[in-house]
Amino acid sequence: MDEREGFFSLPKKNTFEILLTVGFFIGVVVCIFIISSDDLTSRESSIVSLFLTFLSIIASWLLANIYGDSQHIKAIEEVKEMHNEKVKTFALKAAEKVNNLSLNINKLSIYLESELDAEYDLDTESLIGKEKIIESAIHSLTMLKSVNDTSLSDWHGIIDEEIEERREAQEEKEERLNQLTYRLESLTLKKDEDNKDDRLEQQIETMKKDMRLLMAGVSGAHISVGKRKRREEIIKECPSCENKLKFSQRSMKNSIKTIHCSSCDSLISSSFVPAKDDFLLTLKVKQKKETHCSDCGEKISFELDTEVKSRSVVNCGKCHKQVTAIRLENGEVKYTEGNEYMSSTLTENDIENVSKALPLQPWPQGIHKKVATELNMSNSAVRRSMKILISRGIVKNQVDGQLFDNVVQVKN
């Protein structure tokens, strides 16, 4: 209620009482004026005094009655406001529960869709039965989500503004997620034919799936992560004993599979070659490769698999430079050096001090600044020392609080 309202905020039926009270007050004033201005006899003074007392009592009673009515109306308004606040709070909690239930239903639908896209080595009837069950579950969840979402309309008359504010905040989150999704999708278009990192590809795919679930939690929609191709039934001859090998594999780029030949007990690597649109089978054996460090000339030996895209990472025993050997699609071996973090301003003593000062992983954000302060070193020097420790395998690579192995294992 407005602070200016109160005593005079009364129903129309009290207007007569107000006018009557004003009239009695005027009578009281007239009586007081008569008593004070004229010379009255004792009898006249008594009559006027009685009349003044009567008018005062009636005016006071009317005034108290009017004030009581105003306080009663004010109390009713306050009770109404308290009731509306409680109803609004209840409605907000109910709407929040409805939204949470809807998001969880949608997440479950996403998980079921992912399971529907997955492949298992089962017979055809089992796969068809699995798909039918999952499709029925997804349809039922979609119906439940629709019914759940429509229940929000029951509260529009009470919390219109709150629902609108949440809807606008939801749209802002969706817009930010769409921008992030676009940037993530653009990463998959930038592929290097020779230096493609399988771990990076797996991390991108994992991020896409996480983004898919995140968007399901925010907007109820999800991005498409792209369905994987179905496996094909392949029949090829073993390159060692010419025995017929039967296996299943996807005809997609970078598709590599290891097959065991039961006839000659050999390991065979099957890789899909997009240029030939066919699968190439090669014996999977380790070959010894050697190169020299470009900095110190030290001989570096590798044991590299014959499988395409296999790699081996070795650190130079003298200067600790990291050298990576990669098997290209044409069978040749490419060497890359990754000691770009080493600097002449850093000594082994500096690197060892940084290693001792670092706490157990995962490190908190900005740990290099804390270590730099303790060791009286620059932030960049500590950061480069940490990268050298990562390249040597002393500590693990850490990205956004997650730990990753530094050395890529050779595929077996």
Predicted pLDDT of residue 403: 74
Give the β-pairing of 278-283 and 266-273: antiparallel
Tokens of 147: 């019914």
Q: 330: which DSSP letter?
A: T
* 3-state secondary structure at position 318: coil
Predicted pLDDT of residue 411: 35
For residue range 71-80, what is the model confidence (pLDDT) as tens digits? 888 888 888 8
Domains in the chain: boundaries = 232-283, 288-337, 341-412
For residue range 219-265, what is the model confidence (pLDDT) as tens digits? 554 444 445 566 778 888 888 888 888 888 877 777 778 888 888 88
Predicted pLDDT of residue 215: 60
Average pLDDT on 369-378 reads 84
> What secondary structure does DSSP assign to 228-250, as a single string?
PPPPEEEEEE-TTT--EEEEEE-
Predicted pLDDT of residue 8: 44
Cα separation, 129 vs 139, in Å, equals: 15
CA distances, 195 to each of 190, 326, 334 (Å): 12, 8, 9
Cα separation, 74 vs 5, in Å, equals: 9
- Class of CATH domain 341-412: mainly alpha
Q: 409: which DSSP letter?
A: P
State the pTM of this model.
0.30
**pLDDT reading at 180 higher than 50:** yes
Predicted pLDDT of residue 9: 47
Q: Which residue has the tokens 């005079």?
A: 8
**pLDDT reading at 196 higher than 70:** no
CATH topology of domain 288-337: Rubrerythrin, domain 2 (2.20.28)
- Of 92-96, 144-148, 215-219, the range with the highest mean pLDDT is 92-96
Predicted pLDDT of residue 183: 63
Main-chain phi, psi angles of 220, to 5 degrees: 85, -5
